[in-house]
Amino acid sequence: METPLTRNISPGKEPPDLVQYEKTGGYAALRKALRMSPAEVQAMVKESNLRGRGGAGFPTAQKWSFVPMGDDAPRPKYLVCNADEMEPGTFKDRLLLEGDPHQLIEGIIISAYAIQADVAYVFLRWAYKLPARRMERAIAEAYRHGYVGKNILGSAYSLEMHLHVSAGRYMCGEETALLNALEGKRANPRAKPPYPQVSGLWGKPTIVNNVETLCNLPHILNHGAAWFKSLSRSGDGGTKLYGASGRVKNPGLWELPMGTPLREILEEHAGGMRDGYQFRGLLPGGASTDFVLTEHLDAVMDFDSMQAVGSRLGTGTMIVLDDKTCPVGMLLNLEHFFAQESCGWCTPCWSGLSWIEQILQDMEEGRGKTSDLELLESHTHLLGPGHTFCALAPGAAEPLQSGLKYFRDDFQRHIHEKRCPWREHGHGMQM
């Protein structure tokens, strides 16, 4: 099985420096891209069926295609790498940032070349201290060796690259809030249209791509679109970093073919449930996805298949719920996070999420009422797509709406028994 994204990564060891990266074929893809036109690079990526790995799964080349091109296009143009990885349960980009920073830098330069960007930013989560040091060192190496800066490798193409360590929170992962934060403003989402591809950073054309998305680009350029599609078990090209956390025997992260079945990831790679625990459900793509149950485990982990079973692939990093953890307490923990991280820009989000948190807190502490279930369900609709400026609130509603559907008996027990049934055994969720 080929694992292009993690081939140079040895956890616990220093990442390859620039010379070591070159010895493994590093920057050959960039050299190839500079001999192609931007349109040819975009065409190859389009043919590869690369979809964004940040959660939405939008086709990467299609996103690029909205950027104005040609001599009369507005300048400067920007490429922003979204490395603000704060989705609960998700740690895939951290592995790439720490383990092979030059792979990301090469992907950024290729993406920037494809849209003829003048400046690239790596927008990094503030808590990622080690990735910051390693990225800073790698960018400096890339400048010294002529891979970044004026007339890259003697070509007519120039690119400046900067590492921006965020001061913000979860909200900064939303691409328009990220752009506001990068401009030095409060991280509030922007109304769309206009979309960033036309009017983004400082009003100029901007593409925001995820770390994992960008890391695929050198391999697509080196080996071709057909090879990239052959890595996958589904219509979406390439491999995927899948993860698992919770009470499984082997929590971790694995690079597997896109479209690997849920059951294989859970039982073979994560080792199944720990002794003494039974599987109840999981969130397949981080905290802002819907629960799936045992009957869904034969579904494959790609964008369309996860939608077909009522959830989303998201980041591909699953959070596993066991039979000794209170699902109401788990949801309280998640909704507390989302309420805390709301930027307060729109009422359904800042008011609704705080209300949801309080209702769940009351249930956990024995003050729940039967009418609370209807109230919670109404909130999942009020916070749904199209009712807020960005996807934070709709994402927060996903685990709740599926929890109410699949674990309704647990909610009713809290209400009727006026207590959390798990807490007396030490299995309630504490914040």
CB 285 within 8 A of CB 314: yes
Chain centre to alpha carbon of residue 191: 21
Tell me the CB-side half-sphere exposure of residue 202, using CA atoms within 13 A: 11
Summarize the confidence of residues 73-81 as an average pLDDT. 97
| pLDDT band of 168, cuts 50, 70, 90 | confident
Output the CA torsion sign for 64, 67, 73, 75.
Answer: negative
What are the start-end ranges of the E strands in 171-308?
206-210, 239-245, 252-257, 279-283
* 357-416 pLDDT per residue, tens: 999 999 999 999 999 999 999 999 999 888 898 999 999 999 999 999 999 999 999 999
pLDDT at 55 over 90: no
CA–CA separation, 262 and 276 (whole Å): 21
Q: What tokens were used for 115?
A: 């849209």
Stated pTM of the model: 0.95
| pLDDT band of 12, cuts 50, 70, 90 | confident
Q: What is the second-level CATH architecture of the domain 327-425?
A: Up-down Bundle (1.20)
Q: Which CATH number fits domain 239-322: 3.40.980.10, 1.20.1340.10, 3.10.20.600, 3.40.50.2020?
A: 3.10.20.600
Please name the residue ranges forming H helices in 66-190.
92-99, 101-115, 129-144, 175-182
Summarize the confidence of residues 301-316 as an average pLDDT. 95
Q: What tokens were used for 342?
A: 């709301």
| pLDDT band of 430, cuts 50, 70, 90 | very low
CA–CA separation, 389 and 381 (whole Å): 15
* 239-245 and 252-257 strand pairing: antiparallel
With left for phi above 0 and alpha for psi between -120 and 50, is residue 76 left, alpha or beta? beta
Closest listed residue to residue 287, CA positions, set 181, 150, 170, 124: 170
Q: Please spell the DSSP secondary structure of 17-48, one letter per residue.
A: -HHHHHHTTTTHHHHHHHTS-HHHHHHHHHHH
Higher pLDDT, 285 or 426: 285
CA–CA separation, 292 and 266 (whole Å): 12
CA–CA separation, 292 and 403 (whole Å): 10
CA–CA separation, 359 and 102 (whole Å): 47
- Percent of the chain exceeding pLDDT 90 equals 92
Q: Determine whether domain 18-230 maps to CATH 3.40.50.300.
A: no
pLDDT at 244 over 50: yes
Summarize the confidence of residues 221-235 as an average pLDDT. 96
pLDDT at 428 over 90: no
pLDDT at 1 over 90: no
pLDDT at 38 over 80: yes
pLDDT at 192 over 50: yes
pLDDT at 37 over 50: yes
pLDDT at 302 over 90: yes
Predicted pLDDT of residue 389: 87
Summarize the confidence of residues 181-202 as an average pLDDT. 95
CA–CA separation, 244 and 91 (whole Å): 10
Distances (CA, A) of 341 to 58, 156, 173: 24, 43, 11
DSSP assigned state of 413: H
Q: What tokens were used for 159?
A: 């690119």
CA–CA separation, 297 and 216 (whole Å): 27
* 85-133 pLDDT per residue, tens: 999 999 999 999 999 999 999 999 999 999 999 999 999 999 999 999 9
Predicted pLDDT of residue 426: 54
* 317-322 and 279-283 strand pairing: antiparallel
CB 49 within 8 A of CB 227: no
Summary mean pLDDT of the chain? 95
b vs e for 326-340, b when ≥16 Cβ sit within 10 Å of the residue's Cβ?
bbbbbbbbbbbbbbe
Domain boundaries, the chain: 18-230, 239-322, 327-425
